[in-house]
Amino acid sequence: MFSKLIQNDFPLTEFTHKEGDLYKIVTTFGKTFELMYGYYEECDRHSPLVRSPVPIYPDFTKEPVYTDDGTPFVTMMQDVCPFYKGEKKRTPDSTCDECKYFKHGEDWFGICTCPKNKPSSD
């Protein structure tokens, strides 16, 4: 009975993808991003908790990408910057999708419309 419960409620998924495989192509705000399977941290490769490579989203804080008009891309799950303005109080767990400057694109991508984050706003 217990094994049936596991099978029905917690099906064990067979992972068929490997590191470097294409997960998805996302086109949004005029740019195209190829998302591949991989590991965010080298230690994940050997972790028993990470059973398989995962889709890797860009880290725009390390490698910024801009729209043609110079607006920075962000992901929904990106840590907030000093210009965060949200309805919720800023916490260490706050993410860009909670900010009023976040404009959602496709998938987990968006752009930051904060004028202070445009490179020419110095």
Q: For binding to ligand SF4 (CB under 6 A), which residues are involved? A: 74, 80-81, 83-84, 96, 99, 101-102, 112, 114, 117
Nearer residue to ligand SF4 within complex by CB, 33 or 39 = 33
Looking at beta carbons only, is 53 or 98 nearer to ligand SF4?
98
Helices then strands, each counted (H, E), the chain: 1, 6
Query: Of 91, 89, 70, 66, which is closest to residue 79 (Cα–Cα)?
Result: 91
Q: Closest approach of Cβ 12 to ligand SF4, in Å?
A: 37
> Judging by DSSP bridges, how do beta strands 54-55 and 102-104 pair with one another?
unpaired
CB of residue 108 vs ligand SF4: minimum separation in angstroms?
13
State the nearest-atom distance from the C-beta of 58 to ligand SF4, in Å. 14
Nearest partner of 84 among 71, 99, 67, 70, judged by Cα = 99
